[in-house]
Each structure stands twice: as C-alpha cells, then as structure tokens.
C-alpha cells in the first residue's frame, strides 16, 4: 500500500530532505511539513504547506492517520520526544531520519545533481596525508550521550578560554597570539584564529606543506571520516572538504535575519567593499541564494586554510569596528554567524579555482 509522506521539521535539514526525496524518489508524494509550533517557521516550504501537528491531527480521522507516514527530519536529540508526541496523537507509521540515513540520502542527492561533489565519489588513494583537526569546546558544553574516543588526528581546544577560569581541554585559545576574549561574538572562530596564528605558519616539516590538512570542527558537529575518506584527500589533490550545504527559503539572508541585524549586514558589506571589492560585488548575490555552508566546519590544505583565514579575519575585524554598537560593546555571536556566510561566499566564489568536495557534518548528542 502506498502511503503519503509528511516530513516532521521545517528548517534546512527538513527542506534538504524534501528536495532529496523529490529528486531521487519522485513517486513519493510529500503532503506537508509538520512542526510542534508555528512560531518562527514559514507557512510554506518548497511549495508544500507547513502545519502545526495538533491542528493537523485534529482534522484527521483514525483511518487517515494510519495511511500517513511521518519522516522525522530533525536533530537526533529531539527525535525520541517527537516519536512520543506522534504516538499520543495516534500516528503509528513514523521513522527517524538518523544521521546515517540522512547522510546516505544527501550523498545520493548531490551525486545525482553533480553540483556539490561528495568526497566519497573520489577514488581511494594510497597515501595517508598529515591531518590535524581542532575541535572547539566550551566550558558550558553538556556531556555527550554518545561520547567516545576521538580519532588521533582530532585535538580538543577550549574556545573562549580567556573568558572563564574553568578548563575543559588541554589546549586553549588564549595562548600565543589570540582573540580568545572576543569569543562572545566570534564563537568557534576564536579557535580558528588561534590555529591560523600559532599552528599554520609558512612551510612545514611534516610531509611537505601540500601534504598537510588542517581543520576546525565543533564539540557537537564535525565530519565522520572513515580511513578511506582520508586516503582520498592527497591523491585526488583535494583543496577543501566542506559540509553539504543546507537549503533555506527564501534565501540565506532571510535565514540569518533571526541572528543578524540589517545594520550589521551593512557594516559587513562596507568592510568587504574596503578590503575585498570583488567579493563585495558577489556578496548580494550570495545572500539571495538558498545554500549555506553551516557551522564554520572545514578541513583544507594548510595553505588553502591559511589563505582563507588571511581573507576572513580582517573582514570580520573591520566589521566589528563599523558595527553599531561596535563588537567590543556587545556579545551576541553575530560574527560567528557572519563567518558561515563568508565561508559560503569565499568557497562558492572560488569553486572553479579550488578542488572542493563535501561530506556530511555529524551532530553528536
């Protein structure tokens, strides 16, 4: 028996799921997106209505509920509660879109589209590169339920270590040259700045600079590399690995309106105009597109990441000066959110020059 499909969720994760299913399985009919509350959610996504679960359930009979299948496309930590809620409303056909299932779906989707090349589409090489990934941690992070050992190439670093006396990692971003005290605005980017200034100087003694890959992930978000993924890097001359971008409607500017004021966008555009006029010309077009590289997560050749940092941080620091109020007078994470948009601008504008591949960014719970 063919069942209609409803997708529980209404953010980039759910919209990306919808687009993948439409492309890969066009015979599946998606009737709606479901949410617990409409607050902060659009009424329509991808031409499909978004409905509050309580109202949706009240308008259905028991037979209708038995004929609808619900795919839970939300972060994994809230999926058990959603299952319980669906049960209470009489729904019986539901399934969690776990990280592993989502990753497989999105990989197939992007392989079909051919726009955001999957890392797994490359042949496995023979040479293991030098890889060093720094994982930004905070003293306010809650313990992980699925916590376990980290790969030997991942090094936890405390971001914002200058802002508290508690230590949660052997490495801290308040040593050497740093901006640790500005973590309230820069978020995990204070760890990236520390990496740039203290670990990514010119040259290198481990396998030659082009054989070295450096990256940043977060305590809860990062790449789930298998050994074969690492073996794909050097022999395929990969310049950067980025998360699959998530789609937002109507565009990424509207998505970030919840976090960034219009005046701050103007400050950022002025900073770009002063320092990188070619990128300033492309910036409005980037804001009007739907795909965003989230989370400031990246792995790249040492030279590529160093060039990106040398481009990124002067822009953000100039934006701090131009913002009203100035960055030094606030602590609302806005530069961290801007970093996501600037990462999108930089790597999408350089997509033809750089060999960029993509993989899933796992949420650890």
- Phi, psi (rounded to 5 degrees) for 207: 75, 15
**Do residues 249 and 145 touch, judged by C-beta distance below 8 A?**
no
pLDDT value of residue 202: 57
Neighbour count for residue 177 (Cβ, 10 Å): 9
pLDDT value of residue 210: 67
Region 224-246: what's the mean pLDDT?
Answer: 96
Selection from 65, 97, 93 nearest residue 78 by Cα? 97
pLDDT in tens, 18-37: 999 999 999 999 999 999 99
pLDDT in tens, 265-299: 999 999 999 999 999 999 999 999 999 999 999 99
Distance CA 303, CA 196 (A): 10
pLDDT value of residue 203: 47
- Phi, psi (rounded to 5 degrees) for 333: 65, 10
pLDDT in tens, 39-90: 988 899 999 999 999 999 998 887 888 889 999 999 888 999 999 999 999 9
pLDDT value of residue 61: 81
Cis before 66? omega within 30: no
DSSP one-letter string for 179-238: -GGGHHHHTTHHHHHHHHHHH--SS-SSS-GGGEEEEEEESSEEE---HHHHHTTGGGT-
pLDDT value of residue 208: 59
pLDDT in tens, 127-172: 999 999 999 999 999 888 776 689 999 999 999 999 999 999 999 9
> Could you tell me the two tokens for 68?
């609808």
Check pLDDT > 80 for residue 365.
no
Mean pLDDT, rounded, of the chain? 93
Give whole-number Cα distances, 276 to 95, 176, 291, 319, 345, in Å.
47, 28, 22, 13, 12
- Residue-wise over 108-144: b if at least 16 C-beta within 10 A, else e? ebbeeeeebbbbbebeebeeebbbbbbbbbbeeeeee
> Could you tell me the two tokens for 357?
């591949």
Go through the domains of the chain in sequence order and give each one's CATH number.
4-97 (3.40.50.20), 119-363 (3.90.550)
Distance CA 357, CA 115 (A): 10
Q: Exposed, middle or buried, 258 (CB in 10 Å: 0-12/13-18/19+)?
A: exposed
pLDDT in tens, 91-113: 999 999 998 899 999 999 999 99
- SS3 of 354, please? coil
Report residue 204's pLDDT band, with 50, 70 and 90 as the boundaries: very low
């Amino acid at each position: 028996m063919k069942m209609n499909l409803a997708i529980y969720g209404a953010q980039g994760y759910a919209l990306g799921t919808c687009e993948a299913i439409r492309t890969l399985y066009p015979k599946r009919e998606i009737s709606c997106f479901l949410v617990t509350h409409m607050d902060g959610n659009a009424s329509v996504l991808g031409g499909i209505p978004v409905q509050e679960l309580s109202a949706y359930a009240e308008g259905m009979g028991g037979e209708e509920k038995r004929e609808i299948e619900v795919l839970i496309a939300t972060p994994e930590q809230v999926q058990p509660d959603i299952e319980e809620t669906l049960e209470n409303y009489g729904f019986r056909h539901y399934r969690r879109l776990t990280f592993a299932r989502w990753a497989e779906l999105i990989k197939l989707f992007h392989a079909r589209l051919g726009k955001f090349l999957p890392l797994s589409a490359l042949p496995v090489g023979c040479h293991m590169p030098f890889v060093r990934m720094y994982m930004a941690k905070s003293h306010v992070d809650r313990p992980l339920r699925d916590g376990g050992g980290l790969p030997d190439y991942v090094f936890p670093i405390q971001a914002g270590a200058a802002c508290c006396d508690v230590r949660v990692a052997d490495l801290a971003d308040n040593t050497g040259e740093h901006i640790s005290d500005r973590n309230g605005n820069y978020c995990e980017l204070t760890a990236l700045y520390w990496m740039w200034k203290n670990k990514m100087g010119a040259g290198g003694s481990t396998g030659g600079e082009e054989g070295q890959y450096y990256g940043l992930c977060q305590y809860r978000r990062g790449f789930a590399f298998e050994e074969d993924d690492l073996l794909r890097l050097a022999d395929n001359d990969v310049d950067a690995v980025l998360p699959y971008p998530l789609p937002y409607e109507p565009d990424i500017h509207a998505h970030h309106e919840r976090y960034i004021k219009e005046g701050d966008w103007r400050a950022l555009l002025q900073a770009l105009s002063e320092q990188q006029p070619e990128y300033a010309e492309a910036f409005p077009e980037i804001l009007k597109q739907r795909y965003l590289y989230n989370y400031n997560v990246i792995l790249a050749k040492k030279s590529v990441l160093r060039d990106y940092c040398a481009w990124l941080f002067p822009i953000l620091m100039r934006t701090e000066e131009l913002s009203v109020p100035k960055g030094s007078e606030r602590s609302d994470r806005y530069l961290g959110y801007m970093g996501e948009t600037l990462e999108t601008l930089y790597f999408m504008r350089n997509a033809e020059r750089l060999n960029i591949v993509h993989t899933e960014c796992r949420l650890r719970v």
